């Protein structure tokens, strides 16, 4: 629980005149669920995008498993063990739930385009193993009954679960979830919390952006707070929710008194 999985050192990123991240440094330990909160526009998604290779930081560096993270392309980041979901669900709407998860797995397969075309024994074995694994993952996230339904026909909450299954199919050490509870009702949010707890219990670390502060404070081992691109606090929830700058910037005075 105590060794470091991910370190961000002095990450900065600007868009024109807007400095979205200013020298952000944080440390995520193996096995923890780490919350990233802050008001709208604080820089949370920009940090995710820098970490997962969608953006290149202007300066600063990520270290993952004690090695510099080459995070200049999303596919490389996936192969290094970091998977993510998106604030706006990005599924293949006209593919089945099962096929969506199988696509996630292909990021890790050994066979290539040639063996795909020739349908080699290796390719066939991998395809069967991929399908079995995808079914297991749908079961794990609680939507195996919808395996053969098109993604677009799943409920909103089930689509969020499907995105998590697809991310898990890449076999990550770190799962980054961008507002997974957005749009969920109280029951769906409680179910999501159980799922994230199961993921942590299975040894996968979680980096969680979430506006549902109750969920974050109840679930996360530690929480970082961004405000106007600056990290103003990183600590356990009991300390974060009483930090004066956090109350001022985000939570509203007395919210956790
Ligand atoms: N691609 C972009 N081009 C221009 N400005 C951007 C871009 N991405 C983010 N920004 C700006 O950077 C700042 C941080 O945005 P970001 O989306 O990271 O915040 P956030 O904390 O994730 O907000 P929210 O909670 O609303 O999702 C904002 O001012 C935003 O307008």
- From the list 55, 52, 50, 54, the residue with the least C-alpha distance to 25 is 50
Name the more confident of 111 and 144. Answer: 144
**Confidence at residue 257, expressed as pLDDT on a 0 to 100 scale:** 35
- From the list 122, 251, 135, 26, the residue with the least C-alpha distance to 36 is 26
Average pLDDT estimate for 52-73: 90
| Residues whose CB falls within 8 Å of the CB of residue 119, separated by 6 or more in sequence, listed in order | none
**Confidence at residue 108, expressed as pLDDT on a 0 to 100 scale:** 62
pLDDT band at 255 (very low <50, low <70, confident <90, very high): very low
Is the CB of 46 inside a 6 Å radius of any atom of ligand 1? yes
Distance 86 CA to ligand 1 centre (A): 14
Beta-carbon neighbour count of residue 53 at 10 Å? 20
Say if residue 41 is exposed, middle or buried (CB neighbours under 10 Å; 0-12, 13-18, 19+): middle
**pLDDT tens digits along 25-45:** 999 999 999 999 999 899 999
Cα within 13 Å of Cα(71), Cβ side: 28
Global confidence as pTM: 0.89
Is the CB of 15 inside a 6 Å radius of any atom of ligand 1? yes
ipTM: 0.96
Q: What residue owns the CA closest to ligand 1's atom 2?
A: 15
**Confidence at residue 74, expressed as pLDDT on a 0 to 100 scale:** 81
**pLDDT tens digits along 99-109:** 999 987 776 65
Q: Which structure tokens are listed for 148?
A: 């053969």
| Residues whose CB falls within 8 Å of the CB of residue 106, separated by 6 or more in sequence, listed in order | 130
Distance 40 CA to ligand 1 centre (A): 8
3-state secondary structure labels for all residues of 102-125: HHHHHCCCCCCHHHHHHCCHHHHH
Distance 16 CA to ligand 1 centre (A): 12
Q: Are strands 4-15 and 18-29 parallel, antiparallel or unpaired?
A: antiparallel
Highest mean pLDDT among 63-67, 104-108, 111-115: 63-67
Ligand 1: residue of 14, 44, 226 to mutate (most ligand atoms within 8 A of CB) is: 44
Is the CB of 45 inside a 6 Å radius of any atom of ligand 1? yes
**Confidence at residue 149, expressed as pLDDT on a 0 to 100 scale:** 97
**Confidence at residue 115, expressed as pLDDT on a 0 to 100 scale:** 59
Ligand 1: residue of 11, 41, 87, 224 to mutate (most ligand atoms within 8 A of CB) is: 41
Q: Which structure tokens are listed for 169?
A: 């199919």
Q: What residue owns the CA closest to ligand 1's atom 29?
A: 41
User: Mean pLDDT of all residues in the chain?
Assistant: 89
Q: What residue owns the CA closest to ligand 1's atom 8?
A: 46
Distance 117 CA to ligand 1 centre (A): 42
Distance 165 CA to ligand 1 centre (A): 26
Domains contained in the chain, CATH given: 1-81+172-256 (3.40.50.300), 92-169 (no CATH)
pLDDT band at 249 (very low <50, low <70, confident <90, very high): confident
Task: Find the radius of gyration of the CA atoms of the chain.
Answer: 19
Distance 18 CA to ligand 1 centre (A): 9
pLDDT band at 256 (very low <50, low <70, confident <90, very high): very low
Is the CB of 49 inside a 6 Å radius of any atom of ligand 1? no
- Tallying the residues shown for the chain, one arrives at 257
Average pLDDT estimate for 18-23: 97
**pLDDT tens digits along 151-177:** 999 998 999 999 999 999 999 999 999
């Amino acid at each position: 629980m105590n060794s470091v999985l991910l370190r961000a050192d002095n990450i900065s990123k600007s868009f024109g005149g807007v400095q979205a991240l200013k020298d952000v440094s944080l440390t995520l330990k193996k096995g923890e669920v780490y919350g990233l909160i802050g008001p709208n526009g604080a820089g949370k998604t920009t940090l995710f995008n820098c970490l997962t290779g969608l953006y290149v930081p202007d300066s600063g560096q990520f270290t993952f498993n004690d090695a510099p993270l080459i995070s200049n392309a999303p596919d490389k980041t996936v192969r290094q063990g970091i998977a993510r979901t998106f604030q706006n669900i990005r599924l293949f709407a006209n593919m089945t739930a099962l096929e969506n998860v199988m696509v996630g797995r292909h990021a890790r397969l050994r066979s290539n385009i040639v063996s795909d075309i020739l349908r080699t024994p290796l390719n066939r074995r991998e395809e069967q193993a991929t399908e079995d694994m995808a079914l297991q993952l749908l079961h794990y996230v609680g939507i195996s009954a919808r395996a053969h339904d098109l993604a677009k026909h799943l409920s909103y909450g089930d689509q969020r679960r499907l995105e998590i299954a697809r991310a898990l199919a890449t076999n990550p050490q770190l799962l980054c979830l961008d507002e997974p509870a957005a749009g969920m009702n109280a029951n769906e949010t409680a179910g999501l919390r159980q799922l994230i707890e199961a993921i942590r219990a299975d040894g996968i670390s979680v980096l969680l952006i979430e506006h549902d502060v109750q969920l974050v404070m109840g679930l996360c081992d530690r929480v970082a707070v961004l405000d106007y691109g600056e990290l103003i606090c990183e600590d356990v929830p009991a300390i974060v929710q009483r930090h004066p700058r956090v109350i001022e910037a985000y939570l509203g005075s007395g919210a956790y008194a």
